Structure 1
Amino acid sequence: MQLDLQNPPDYRHDTVLPLPIEVNANAWAVDAGCSGNPGQMEYQCVDLATGERVFHFGPVFGTNNIGEFLAIVHALALMQQRGITDKVIYSDSVNAALWVKKKQCKTKLERSPRTAELYNIIARAENWLRTHTVTTPILKWETKKWGEIPADFGRKK
């Protein structure tokens, strides 16, 4: 069920986005988009308080799950680099959050010359997870209740 929200809603003073009241606006939302799966994949992060894009990566040949995983790790690493300790991360991907928790991208994407650069990025992300302590909460974005995550690329039909 899609919520009919104003932008910004009159009951929220912590965001410019139309967020449900139970969503923490002191957060970054990440999402990936993929044209085909595998296909041209990209991911991005949006600050829920400001609505601004924090980062964008791609497109590269990959899968949506890989993009979701890399988006979370990218957000975690950037938060650490910037000394941000008070935000949470929202992702709509259960698989990606689990992969981050296990510190391993469990993709079945075929290794080939076409995917070599992406596999190098995955290896860097996994190494970062193994060598850093993650304390930032990674929360599930409840798409069925709240609609699409604000970092969505808006390509669904």
Structure 2
Amino acid sequence: MGICSCRRKKDAPKVLKAAPANIGKPIKDAIAVDAAWNTSSGDMEYQGVYLQTGERIFLQGPFKDGTNNIGEFLAIVHGLAYLQKKGSDLPIYSDSRTAISWIKKKHANTKLALTPRNKPVFEMLQRAERWLVLNQYPNKILKWETEYWGENPADFGRK
């Protein structure tokens, strides 16, 4: 089984809804982040892309025994740190409500148990949470509206 961040019938055509006025269209001068998690191996990875060009700007993983929510959280923090280094105030899109809520709390509220295999994931989580506490950022974290805009451009395409 491939790396997958959600379950959907492969044969089902994706019909997009017309976006209401309060949602509109995505900002093209932005980055999108996403994570993928393999349901059979537990491997997790994440990436970020620049929406205007589709260029990948970072890719991390795979990491053993992670979760999709952790990957989504780490992807947002990675994007924030990346944009801070570039002196950029571009917004970041994520399709994960959970990860966005964790960013606001500056804490990944995971139930995942620490094991020797996922120790690097927990070390990254600690660094990410510390970064959020110690840094301020002007970037907006926005929800990618998949049902209106289609798949997140940072999606790994393995569903």
Q: 8 Å contact 1:38–1:64 — kept in the other structure? A: no
Q: Distance in 2 between matches of 1:142 and 1:103?
A: 23
Is the 2:84–2:137 contact (alpha carbons within 8 Å) kept by the matching residues of 1? no
Give how far 1:135 is off. 2.1
Partner of 1:137: 140
- Give 1:37 deviation, angstroms: 7.3
1:68 and 2:81 are equivalent in the alignment: no
Q: 1:155 to 1:109 in 2, by over 3 A?
A: same
1:70-149 equivalence runs, <5 A = 70-85=74-89, 87-149=90-152
State the aligned residue count: 139
Counterpart residue identity of residue 150, structure 1: P
Q: Determine the structure 1 residue equivalent to 2:36.
A: 33
Please name the residue that 1:2 is paired with.
Answer: 15
- Please show how residues 2-21 of structure 1 align to structure 2 within 5 Å: 2-3=15-16
| In 2, Cα distance between equivalents of 1:134 and 1:81 | 11
Q: Are the structure 2 counterparts of residues 111 and 38 from structure 1 closer, same or farther at C-alpha, using a change threshold of 3 Å?
A: farther
TM-score (norm 2): 0.83
Tell me the distance in 1 between the aligned counterparts of 2:135 and 2:104.
12
- Contact 2:47–2:75 (CA under 8 A) maintained in structure 1: yes
Residues 19-49 of structure 1, C-alpha deviations (whole Å, 9 max, x = no match): xx71100100000001117711000001001
Question: What letter corresponds to residue 120 of structure 2 in structure 1?
Answer: E
**Aligned with 1:39: secondary structure?**
coil
Structure with greater strand percent = 1
Percent identity among equivalent residues? 53
Match of 2:19 in 1: none
Secondary structure of the residue that 2:32 maps to in structure 1?
Answer: strand
Relative contact order, CA 8 A, sep 6+: which one is greater? Answer: 2
> Taking structure 1 as reference, are residues 66 and 43 closer, same or farther at Cα in structure 2, changes over 3 Å only?
same
Runs (4+) of structure 1 moved beyond 4 Å?
Answer: none
Residue 154 of structure 1: CA displacement? Answer: 0.7
What TM-score comes out, normalization by structure 1 length?
A: 0.84
Secondary structure of 1:108's counterpart equals coil
- Give the conservation status (yes or no) of the 8 Å contact 1:30–1:71: yes
